[in-house]
Amino acid sequence: MSNPSRDALIARLPKAELHLHIEGSLEPELLFALAQRNGVSIPFASVEAVRAAYSFSNLQDFLDIYYQGMSVLQTEQDFYDLTWAYLERAATDTVRHVEIFFDPQGHTERGLAFETVLDGIERALRDGEVKLGISYRLIMCFLRHLSEDAAFATLDQAMPHIDRIHGVGLDSSEVGHPPSKFQKVFAKARELGLHVTAHAGEEGPPEYVHEALDLLQVERIDHGNRALEDAALVRRIADEGLTLTVCPLSNLRLCVIKDIGQSPVRKMLDLGLKATVNSDDPAYFGGYINDNFRAIADALDLSEAEIVKLAENSFTGSFLPMADQIQHLAEITEVAGG
């Protein structure tokens, strides 16, 4: 049930977003505008037709449309506009820090230069830091349906700019593409001093989460829903204090769960796991971070203390230095107590 004082707390609480694909924040209105600006033809007659097409029965259904949507992104300014639109929206949800995924292979495969993508996204992130007070980290994802050689080629393209990239991730079609496929390229990324994270256990089995931890040595698990099927794995995630970046509305729209009341956040909190709440691909899944918070707060009847805990987890699970985390936690205490 909706609860006005809980909603007000969600609106006010400072938070970090740790699981956000910048290409998944491409709203139909901007998709249309960019298609026109760049003379790219898209198979939709109107913004409403685009929205109507956003009905998915699994991850692959969504990915097919997601990669198609990306085709309107052509110039550095397009990537700037995309990222800036997300940051402005995030600011209205009291987001103070973002750790953004981008999928360079979704663009370089279409002939764009790696630099076009990186420059546009980063320019907006820097403006966001100055004008909106939102700090950031940038995480380059490898598409797991492509080969490890292709991931190495992407890392090579990133090398001249590696000081501008903070971490690597692993996304796209999970089942059939286990983390083990990317063991060597993740080892190289770790050698370079990059942070490492991976999507695991969204549709894939608990074994993929084990692999992400053992073979890729990830610092966080993106999604991690199916880790709950394995009691030993749950104990390990709890003991090691690993962060799970859960995406409730994404889970619902990709049929990972049947209704929002099945969001794994309830169980994760009860088991003492460090769950966080994130929007994944908000333009496609019907909500930004506060929409995700409100949806589970209502469905799982979260207490105010649990909502505060989720906001705290978003900072302690981030790649921010400890001193910055402590400042954000102090602001949370001030807001929650006031």
> Based on CB atoms, which residue is closest to ligand ADE, 6 or 223?
223
Q: Which of 50, 129, 47 is nearest to 90 (CA)?
A: 129
199 among annotated binding-site residues: yes
- Here the tokens at position 183 are 């063991």
281 among annotated binding-site residues: yes
Q: Which of Zn ion, ligand ADE, none has residue 17 at its interface (CB below 5 to 8 Å by kind)?
A: none
Q: Which helix (H) or strand (E) holds 220?
A: strand 220-223
271 touches 237 (CB < 8 A): no
- Here the tokens at position 37 are 């600006």
| Rounded least distance, CB 179 to Zn ion, Å | 15
> Distance between CA 73 and CA 90 in Å, rounded?
21
Contact between 21 and ligand ADE by CB under 6 A: the answer reads yes
Owner of token pair 């007000």: 8
127 among annotated binding-site residues: no
- Here the tokens at position 144 are 């797991």
Q: Which of Zn ion, ligand ADE, none has residue 202 at its interface (CB below 5 to 8 Å by kind)?
A: ligand ADE
> In residues, how long is the chain?
338
Which one is catalytic: 17, 23, 174, 202? Answer: 202
> Distance between CA 219 and CA 252 in Å, rounded?
25
Q: Which of Zn ion, ligand ADE, none has residue 288 at its interface (CB below 5 to 8 Å by kind)?
A: none
By CB under 6 A, name the one of 97, 199, 210, 253 that touches ligand ADE. 199
| Rounded least distance, CB 224 to ligand ADE, Å | 12
Contact between 171 and ligand ADE by CB under 6 A: the answer reads yes
Contact between 253 and ligand ADE by CB under 6 A: the answer reads no
Residues 6+ positions from 156 with CB-CB distance below 8 Å: none
> What secondary structure letter does DSSP report for 288?
-
- Here the tokens at position 118 are 């990186």
| Rounded least distance, CB 275 to ligand ADE, Å | 16
> Distance between CA 209 and CA 134 in Å, rounded?
31
93 among annotated binding-site residues: no
Terminus-to-terminus CA distance in the chain, angstroms?
A: 24
Q: Sort 277 into a burial class: Cβ within 10 Å, 0-12 / 13-18 / 19+.
A: buried
Q: Which of ligand ADE, Zn ion, none has residue 24 at its interface (CB below 5 to 8 Å by kind)?
A: ligand ADE
Contact between 107 and ligand ADE by CB under 6 A: the answer reads no
Instruction: Kindly compute the dihedral angle of the four CA atoms of residues 23, 24, 28, 30, in this order, to the nearest 10 degrees.
Output: -30
Q: Indicate if 99 belongs to the active site.
A: no
> In degrees rounded to 5, what are phi and psi of residue 205?
-75, 165
| Residue 111-150 contact track with ligand ADE, rule CB under 6 A, x = bound | ----------------------------------------
Contact between 103 and Zn ion by CB under 5 A: the answer reads no
328 touches 96 (CB < 8 A): yes
| Residue 269-308 contact track with Zn ion, rule CB under 5 A, x = bound | -----------x----------------------------
**# binding residues, Zn ion (CB under 5 A):** 1
| Rounded least distance, CB 66 to ligand ADE, Å | 6
**Site residues for ligand ADE, window 278-317 (CB under 6 A)?**
280-281
> What secondary structure letter does DSSP report for 128?
I
List the Cα angle 284/141/203 in 5-degree steps. 60
> Based on CB atoms, which residue is closest to ligand ADE, 132 or 260?
260
Residues that bind Zn ion (CB under 5 A): 280
Which spans of this chain sit near ligand ADE (rule: CB under 6 A)?
21, 24, 59, 66, 171-172, 199, 202, 250, 280-281
Residues assigned a catalytic role: 202
Known binding site for substrate: residues? 281
Annotated binding site for Zn(2+): 19, 21, 199, 280
